């Protein structure tokens, strides 16, 4: 794939592995320090979050002290800070996205609220004014990446998603900073409370007794191979087929075809990729 403009298009991925997959499709095969370039593109990456909301004392020095009379902490503004551990990669990203040779930015962070937030915080921190486009894909196959670049959308179409992500981030900050301090002061030891962390920990604790009582049992999964009567030698499929009796649609009146079946060991399933994990979560939770 070639960039349409004569100047360079910058692509920001969320992780180095994703950047490599995208760069391979775009033909950006020249490696640099923290980026890949070529064919009119320069592909760089975040390492998760490069930018975050400032700590309380970075907003107001008085908030460095943990005192009940200072709670709740409610910032009037929300400055951003660069993570110390990834500041070198942030500087690489900043130089690329603000370069005069870059005409526009394509952000290819994960297709979701958190991915949106990662880019928006970086974009705000570097104070860029360049036009941005969104690559929204759920698979990293070469075909999916190509189709994604053919259907880039203006970043402004995802402003509401960015607002939701920013609101969630600030809610996490308010709950974490205020309740962690309140419980720590109350119980006189350093405690950590989080909007997601604490309920998740409670779920793990509640689940532990069940796991300890679990007794594994062997089981077999039966898979039936069906043949159509019209063409039994060629057409087969696997599954379960019941034919309802005439005049009734109730399950108890269903009758199965007499077929020969074989039992087989299906083998262990493959580990989840980040994409398949997300799809499984969507099917179960609808979020």
The pLDDT tens digits for 50-104 are: 999 999 999 999 999 999 999 999 999 999 999 999 999 999 999 999 999 999 9
DSSP classification of residue 142: H
Average pLDDT for 133-138: 96
**pLDDT classification of 135: cutoffs 50, 70, 90:** very high
Q: Specify the pLDDT at position 161.
A: 97
Average pLDDT for 120-143: 95
Work out the angle at residue 282's Cα, subtended by the Cα atoms of residues 160 and 155, and round it to the nearest 5 degrees.
Answer: 25
Q: Specify the pLDDT at position 198.
A: 92
Q: Specify the pLDDT at position 196.
A: 87
- Beta-carbon contacts of residue 179 (< 8 Å; ≥ 6 apart): 193
- Which pair of structure tokens corresponds to residue 282? 């969507």
Judge whether 17 and 10 are in contact, CB under 8 Å.
Answer: no
pLDDT tops 90 at residue 16: yes
pTM of the model: 0.72
**pLDDT classification of 271: cutoffs 50, 70, 90:** confident
| Comparison of pLDDT for 284 and 123, the residue scoring more | 123
| Dihedral angle computed from the Cα positions of residues 256, 257, 262 and 265, in that order, rounded to the nearest 10 degrees | -40
The rounded distance, in Å, linking the Cα atoms of 83 and 80 is 10
Judge whether 20 and 45 are in contact, CB under 8 Å.
Answer: no
The rounded distance, in Å, linking the Cα atoms of 1 and 40 is 9
Q: How many CA atoms lie within 13 A of 280 on its CB side?
A: 7
Residue 103 CB coordination number (10 Å): 17
**pLDDT classification of 273: cutoffs 50, 70, 90:** low
The rounded distance, in Å, linking the Cα atoms of 285 and 19 is 29
- Which pair of structure tokens corresponds to residue 149? 């670049």
The rounded distance, in Å, linking the Cα atoms of 8 and 130 is 12
| Comparison of pLDDT for 27 and 267, the residue scoring more | 27
**Alpha helices (runs of H) in the chain, residue ranges in sequence order:** 16-26, 56-59, 87-97, 113-126, 142-150, 159-187, 197-213, 274-285
Q: Residue 209 class from Cβ within 10 Å (0-12 exposed, 13-18 middle, 19+ buried)?
A: exposed
Over pLDDT 90: what percentage of the chain? 70
The rounded distance, in Å, linking the Cα atoms of 131 and 11 is 12
Among the residue ranges 50-54, 112-116, 198-202, 268-272, the one predicted with the least confidence is 268-272
| Dihedral angle computed from the Cα positions of residues 252, 257, 262 and 267, in that order, rounded to the nearest 10 degrees | -60
Reported as a single tens digit per residue, the pLDDT across 205-249 is 999 999 999 998 877 666 677 776 777 666 676 765 444 444 444
- Beta-carbon contacts of residue 32 (< 8 Å; ≥ 6 apart): none
Dihedrals phi, psi of 88, to nearest 5 degrees: -65, -45
- Closest residue by Cα to residue 173 from 63, 282, 84: 63
The two beta strands, 153-154 and 132-134, are: antiparallel
């Amino acid at each position: 794939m070639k960039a349409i403009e004569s100047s360079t298009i910058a692509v920001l991925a969320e992780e180095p592995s994703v950047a490599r997959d995208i760069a391979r499709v775009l033909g950006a095969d020249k490696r640099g320090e923290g980026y890949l370039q070529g064919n009119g593109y320069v592909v760089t990456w975040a390492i998760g979050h490069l930018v975050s909301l400032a700590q309380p004392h970075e907003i107001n020095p008085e908030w460095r002290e943990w005192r009940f009379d200072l709670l709740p902490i409610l910032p009037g503004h929300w400055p951003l800070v660069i993570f110390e551990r990834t500041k070198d990669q942030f500087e690489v990203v900043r130089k690329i996205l603000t370069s005069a040779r870059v005409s526009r930015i394509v952000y290819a962070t994960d297709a979701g609220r958190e991915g949106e937030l990662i880019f928006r915080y970086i974009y705000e921190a570097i104070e860029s004014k360049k036009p941005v486009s969104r690559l929204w894909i759920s698979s990293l196959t070469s075909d999916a990446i190509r189709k994604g670049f053919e259907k880039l959308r203006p970043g402004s179409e995802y402003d509401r998603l960015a607002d939701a992500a920013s609101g969630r981030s600030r809610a996490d900050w308010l709950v974490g900073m205020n309740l962690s301090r309140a419980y720590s002061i109350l119980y006189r030891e350093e405690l950590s409370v989080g909007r997601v962390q604490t309920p998740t920990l409670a779920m793990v604790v509640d689940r532990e007794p069940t796991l300890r009582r679990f007794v594994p049992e062997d089981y077999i999964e039966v898979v039936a191979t069906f043949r159509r009567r019209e063409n039994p030698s060629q057409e087969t499929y696997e599954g379960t087929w019941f034919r309802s009796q005439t005049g009734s649609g109730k399950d108890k009146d269903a009758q199965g075809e007499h077929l020969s079946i074989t039992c087989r060991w299906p083998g262990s399933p493959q580990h989840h990729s980040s994409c398949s994990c997300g799809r499984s979560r969507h099917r179960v939770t609808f979020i």
